[in-house]
Structure 1
Amino acid sequence: MEIDSYIDLYRGGLLNNVIPFWAQHSPDVRYGGYFTCLDSHGNVFDTDKFVWLQCRQVWCFSMLYNKVEQKQEWLDTALLGAGFLEKYGRDQNGDWYFSLSREGAPLTQSYNIFSDCFASMAFGQLYKATQNPEHARISVDTFHRILSRKENPKGIYDKNFPGTRPLKGFALPMILCNLVLEIEHLLLPELVESTIQNGINAILHEFYRPEFGLILENITPDGHFSDSFEGRLINPGHAIEAMWFLMDLAERSNNKELAQQATNITLDILEFGWDKKYGGIYYFLDVKGLPPQQLEWDQKLWWVHIETLISLLKGYLHTGDERCWAWFEKVHEYTWTHFADQQNPEWFGYLNRQGEVLLPLKGGKWKGCFHVPRGLYQCWKTLEAIREKKSSEIQFS
């Protein structure tokens, strides 16, 4: 497929398929916020509202308004979610709940700091559209609260016995590398730089293990390998997603060495995580090849594949490594054949190892208006950048 055809596919998939699906079926015009539990046709099958998905959708429609076109209906959709979150989303400490009832009553405590991460991201992006100082204040206050909790993010809700096998997870330093760029316009420059450097250091010098050539999901507090279920866990999608975050940081500082390192790690993880029998990328693996504890380890998930497409395209853009383009075409073919619904809008989320649809939902407790639209946007814009770069190379060759 020619690059122009890829651009048309990703742009059209975003603007003519995925976003109209969420814009039509998701808004709760009665109580505010969004329905995310939607079947293959967009029918609501559960009305609980998961705060991190509410935040992600606020971010998504704000981002489209800011970066694609200033459509009033996109901003109105973002404000519908933001108003609901402002009213019901936080506890008395300012921490964001995990889930709410349709009407906004708390259902699940603020045990998960990722609600906070996406709240900060959402209100930071929304502020760019509205210039409402309250949106900026919520974003910044939440970010500082995240930093204050990062050493013990679950707090009283941590189920592990203290002191026996303490571990620190990859997800938070990974997300902070992306979040700090999202709200850079609201933060002091020195805080931005320290957060970036701490994130890069954690990813490349703690969680990345040269002896395996892979990124671990959990390590000991002093940065060592833990030979346990949790310590041996590899989440290929998480690790590859983090690599395009690093590539964006590399682009920001014109750090070609960092871009190359992130590209090489992407390719190594993908080679390790690719199912050579059925195709697609495994959800979880054990770094030693032992049986993982997660029973869903061999499922194929939507977000893993769309995030991989982003990293491969950005790797190709920044390094010109032809392996990235070859892998992109391979992952693209699998993704669009298996996840994109050929009869109805949006994508399926969950496949079995053989690539068959496990659940016909388009949204639920974990899947919302985020990875697919963000991925389509990122791929669209990165493909355009690749086309422009190639055009310039031809012009000046």
Structure 2
Amino acid sequence: MDFQRLAIQYKTELLGNVVPFWLNKSQDKEYGGYFSCLDKAGKVFDTDKFVWLQAREVWLFSMLYNRVEQKPEWLECARQGGEFLKKYGHDGFGNWYFSLTTDGKPLIQPYNIFSYTFAAMAFAQLGLATGNDEYTSLARQTYDRILERQDNPKGRYNKAVPGTRNLKNFALPMIMCNLNLEMEHLLGKEFVEESAVTLIDEVMNVFYRPEYGLIVENVNQNGSFSDTFDGRLVNPGHAIEAMWFIMDLAERLDRRDVIDQAQTIILQTLEHGWDKKFGGIFYFMDAKNHPPQQLEWDMKLWWVHLETLIALLKGYHLTGSEENLHWFEKVHDYTWKHFKDTESPEWFGYLNRRGEVTHSLKGGKWKGCFHVPRGLFQCWQTLEKMTWRQ
């Protein structure tokens, strides 16, 4: 496999196509922040602003400025989005709304913990890029609010009746694996490495169910398996994305055993989640192969496939598994064939089971400036490391 050619392919797509799309099409020059609802050509079709997508774009352009090149236009894009979020994104008490009007009025209450996680990530990177203590302070305050809410992430917006079926969800410990590394310059090396031990244990020994060879989305509070719709729910993309977070932590801790386990879980999840009839990775599945309850279960989503490409490359780089290269080639071919728009910039996000585009939008309520550029960046960086080794 020609790693150098692939590295150039991912880098060129990132810097020549995807980043200019968001830089030129998404910025709100009147009120600040970003429009995420963009059609096939990048035209705005709705002006609501979703806080976690605003934060993700602040993070993305700050990260590019910090790790790729100190381009003034990237920093200004991140800074103006950060200023909009700082002013309108929270209630003044560290609670981050879910969505806002175009001019910053709150629309939906702060029920979603991921508005908090991505705000913390955004302001940590923006503070690093600018040296502005106000941004780093906001990142620290938000991180503290996440820790306060981690046992009940939805707080008073939780619809479950207490005491009947108390489940804990995979998404927060998963995202904390990545968030801690992103904020290490604020949290400190010792804190990150100590918390990594706890997070690795929870992901690999609680949410991973060896009896099925799969990571489930929900478990009982005591860590046991819940034989219910929610307890059997498998999101292959989540599981695989988490494994490259885990490998990043395990590499820091020099835990070869954890790297090998993560590598095994990636391959097990792909074997279970790959659509053997039409290709691509299913969105939702049931651990016991009962009928999934999500009507969109068999759709193919952009982020699932991009996160899988990252994980397969990192797994190969760390373990040398030839099976990773086999799977990478298969997922790479499917992803570039079906999600990349050959007529307009940026990528499609949603396909039906047969691989046909169902939504021609390039951004919306859930898809923004994040998974495509981050995926391209991570693949490019790992492929360059593999090129040097080769």
Q: With the length of structure 1 as denominator, give the TM-score of the two structures.
A: 0.97
Paired residue type of 1:365:
K
Q: CA deviation at 1:204?
A: 0.6
Aligned position for 1:148: 148
Structure 1, unpaired ranges of 5+ = 391-397
User: How far apart, CA to CA, are the structure 2 residues paired with 1:383 and 1:251?
Assistant: 17
User: How far apart, CA to CA, are the structure 2 residues paired with 1:29 and 1:178?
Assistant: 31
Aligned 8 A contact 1:214 1:268 in 2: yes
Aligned position for 2:282: 282
User: How far apart, CA to CA, are the structure 2 residues paired with 1:294 and 1:264?
Assistant: 27
Q: CA deviation at 1:253?
A: 2.0
Where do residues 1-397 of structure 1 align in structure 2 (5 Å cutoff)? 2-390=2-390
Q: CA deviation at 1:261?
A: 1.1
Q: Deviations over 1:153-199 (max 9, x none)?
A: 10110011111111000000000000000001101444323321221
Aligned 8 A contact 1:176 1:195 in 2: no
Aligned 8 A contact 1:177 1:196 in 2: yes
User: How far apart, CA to CA, are the structure 2 residues paired with 1:168 and 1:92?
Assistant: 28
Aligned 8 A contact 1:61 1:75 in 2: yes
Equivalent pairs counted in the alignment come to 390
Aligned 8 A contact 1:25 1:43 in 2: yes
Aligned 8 A contact 1:243 1:266 in 2: yes
Q: CA deviation at 1:12?
A: 0.4
Q: Which moved more, 1:115-124 or 1:185-194?
A: 185-194
Q: CA deviation at 1:277?
A: 0.2
Q: Secondary structure at the match of 1:33?
A: coil
Paired residue type of 2:284:
F
Q: Which moved more, 1:254-263 or 1:22-31?
A: 254-263
Aligned 8 A contact 2:193 2:253 in 1: no
Q: Deviations over 1:294-327 (max 9, x none)?
A: 0000000000000000000000000000000110
Paired residue type of 1:254:
D
Aligned 8 A contact 2:97 2:110 in 1: yes
Paired residue type of 1:276:
K
Structure 2, unpaired ranges of 5+ = none
Q: Secondary structure at the match of 1:168?
A: strand
Q: CA deviation at 1:364?
A: 0.2
Q: With the length of structure 2 as denominator, give the TM-score of the two structures.
A: 0.99
Q: Deviations over 1:259-306 (max 9, x none)?
A: 111111101101100000000000000011111110000000000000
User: How far apart, CA to CA, are the structure 1 residues paired with 2:291 and 2:337?
Assistant: 29
Paired residue type of 1:340:
K
Paired residue type of 1:88:
Y
Q: Secondary structure at the match of 1:198?
A: helix
Q: Deviations over 1:81-119 (max 9, x none)?
A: 100000001114311100000000000000000000000
User: How far apart, CA to CA, are the structure 2 residues paired with 1:92 and 1:86?
Assistant: 9
Paired residue type of 1:325:
L
User: How far apart, CA to CA, are the structure 1 residues paired with 2:168 and 2:93?
Assistant: 24
Paired residue type of 1:371:
H
Q: CA deviation at 1:13?
A: 0.5
Q: CA deviation at 1:258?
A: 1.5
Q: Which moved more, 1:246-255 or 1:334-343?
A: 246-255
Q: Secondary structure at the match of 1:335?
A: helix
User: How far apart, CA to CA, are the structure 2 residues paired with 1:316 and 1:188?
Assistant: 29
